[in-house]
Amino acid sequence: MENAGLFAFASAADRQFRKKNSASSLMAAFGSFESTREIPIPRQPLEQIVGQDEAVRIAYIAAKQRRNLLLVGPPGTGKSLLAQAISFHLPRPTEEVNVLHNPETPERPLVEVRTLEQIEKEKRMMREVQGRLVTPQEVPAFVAERLGFACRRCGQMSSPRHPACQSCGGEKFLKEQAHSPFGDLVNPYFEDEGRQDRVHTTRLDPGGREEVVVYERADDRRVRVLDQAYLEKMDSLRKKTPRKTLAPISRRPFVVATGASETELLGDVRHDPYGGHPALGTPPYLRVVPGAVHEAHEGVLFIDEISALAYIQRFLLTAMQEKKYPIVGRNPHGAGASVKVENAPCDFLLIAASNINDIPNILPPLRSRILGNGYEVLLQTTMADSAQNRAKLAQFAAQEVRKDGRIPHFSRGGIEALIGEARRRAKTMDKTDAALTLRLRELSGIIRLAGDIAKISGKELADAKDVTLAVERGRSIEEQLTKRYGSLYKASMGDVGAAEPSEGKEVS
């Protein structure tokens, strides 16, 4: 796909301006900082990604234009970080997805998609059927008495929690059971007996017809009035088909699927030992479980190590194409097997990650779907050793310190040592001179170790010494072996030699 034309968004100039501004403030801070505390951290998650400028540029487009992405690169170069950051740039979901009970065929629950406006409207209706709230003075006197507001003797109002009138001291509640010799045994709380929570009455409407009015104690100071119209509305709302929400409107538009099973990706209908019996069992619509593809509707579906999905990739590409995928019971011996929810929506943006060696194991039709409506991006492993990129590494260290929350900031000396280590790693791991590594997970490991060392020794800032010690302690086992034996080969020979019986010794 041709990228160049798409960069011309109205907001691109804006972003460029902000980026320039934040880059210049970073450079200014980097020129004179004493500790990473002074280094500004950008607010936008995509701007916190260091050194992957091309990938970030494409990420903005993917979020804006809803394109798929295949991110390829070695571990710890920011693939997961990038996918998550993209989801912050997506608009909030506008649809809620539910399954409804289907009274005619319970095994075929129906899908209902509600927009934000519809949800708001129903909420408003629910609020309306809460009835009209009035003061106890506004309701008939006998209602105020029965609800526990008015004194039966003097008519003064007080909180229904007070059993005695605050003005004349008279008892507010009728002790009806007290007339019976067993009243207090039958109902030990007989004191409250005279105080009702609801009072049903009737009145004549303007047309002269009798209508029911219910008065309810709402709280200590108010009464809820439910007249005929409200009661009818409430009745119709209650009669609404019951539903189960698969994707709530307030969901986060980022779903990670490990690809561990078809169920995780495509959903399931749980088994019911009572076979969904109307009286004993759980109705089928309540047993429907959405898959990651359904939960990611309108958002990002992130799949790490996409090739590990193996044959499941085929289902994924159908879901991408159709933008809906049926939910069925996956256990053929379970009661869920007879249940099917057609047309469950799954319009997601796929972000898949892979390391270079696994590319051949990604299904060609799936790659074709990604390339046909998206981008394949190769992440960088190094960046040029320029002043700007060194400043970016300082920003990275500041971000990591903040993310960790338990380690101190770094001094200028500490950051210089870290930059030295980034330079060394670019040279040894990627055979690139005058460059800084972008295998940043490993570098963040060094930052944490150095931070721990500084913290344990009670320092306010982690310095160059702490970084050097952290690099020493943070060496991989291969590096440790090479250091001790000269090469990995010699190390392995040494190991074999030790395991074999030495000459002249008997083997037991």
Ligand X SMILES: Nc1ncnc2c1ncn2[C@@H]1O[C@H](COP(=O)(O)OP(=O)(O)OP(=O)(O)O)[C@@H](O)[C@H]1O
Q: How many residues does the chain have?
A: 508
- Specify the residue, 202 or 357, whose C-beta has the smaller distance to ligand X: 357
Rounded Cα distance between 269 and 426, Å, is 50
- Specify the residue, 386 or 457, whose C-beta has the smaller distance to ligand X: 386
Question: Binder to ligand X among 51, 160, 299, 329 (CB under 6 A)?
Answer: 51
Calculate the alpha carbon distances from 433 to 19, 173, 422 in Å.
28, 90, 11
- Specify the residue, 113 or 256, whose C-beta has the smaller distance to ligand X: 256
Site for Mg ion in 281-310 (CB under 5 A): 304
Stretch that binds ligand X, among 4-12, 70-78, 161-169, 241-249 (CB under 6 A): 70-78
46 binds, among Mg ion, ligand X, none (CB under 5 to 8 A by kind): none
Per CB under 6 A, 441 contacts ligand X? yes
Q: CB of residue 4 vs ligand X: minimum separation in angstroms?
A: 24
Question: Binder to Mg ion among 44, 80, 361, 482 (CB under 5 A)?
Answer: 80
Q: CB of 141 within 8 A of CB of 149?
A: no
Rounded Cα distance between 442 and 446, Å, is 7
Q: CB of residue 82 vs Mg ion: minimum separation in angstroms?
A: 9
Question: Binder to ligand X among 59, 72, 81, 446 (CB under 6 A)?
Answer: 81
Q: Which residues 6+ apart lie within 8 Å of 388 measured at CB?
A: 23, 27
Question: Binder to ligand X among 40, 54, 75, 212 (CB under 6 A)?
Answer: 75
Two structure tokens written together for 165:
């009138």
Q: CB of 223 within 8 A of CB of 143?
A: yes
Per CB under 6 A, 40 contacts ligand X? no
- Specify the residue, 200 or 403, whose C-beta has the smaller distance to ligand X: 403
Question: Binder to ligand X among 80, 245, 263, 282 (CB under 6 A)?
Answer: 80
- Specify the residue, 165 or 300, whose C-beta has the smaller distance to ligand X: 300
Rounded Cα distance between 302 and 284, Å, is 29
Dihedral, 158, 161, 164, 168 alpha carbons, nearest 10: -10
Identity of the residue numbered 412: R
Q: Which residues 6+ apart lie within 8 Å of 111 measured at CB?
A: 97, 98, 99, 100, 341, 342, 343, 344, 345
Two structure tokens written together for 455:
């913290």
Q: CB of 151 within 8 A of CB of 165?
A: yes
Number of residues that bind ligand X (CB under 6 A): 20
Question: Binder to ligand X among 50, 316, 320, 470 (CB under 6 A)?
Answer: 50
78 binds, among ligand X, Mg ion, none (CB under 5 to 8 A by kind): ligand X
Q: CB of 265 within 8 A of CB of 259?
A: yes
51 binds, among Mg ion, ligand X, none (CB under 5 to 8 A by kind): ligand X
Question: Binder to ligand X among 30, 69, 72, 79 (CB under 6 A)?
Answer: 79
248 binds, among ligand X, Mg ion, none (CB under 5 to 8 A by kind): none
Q: CB of residue 399 vs ligand X: minimum separation in angstroms?
A: 7
- Strand, coil or helix: what is 448? helix
Site string for ligand X, 330-359 (x = CB under 6 A): -----------------------x------
Calculate the alpha carbon distances from 69 to 1, 63, 247, 253, 265 in Å.
12, 10, 23, 16, 18
Q: CB of residue 448 vs Mg ion: minimum separation in angstroms?
A: 18
Binding site for Mg ion (CB under 5 A): 79-80, 304
Binding site for ligand X (CB under 6 A): 49-52, 73, 75-81, 304, 353, 396, 400, 438, 440-441, 444
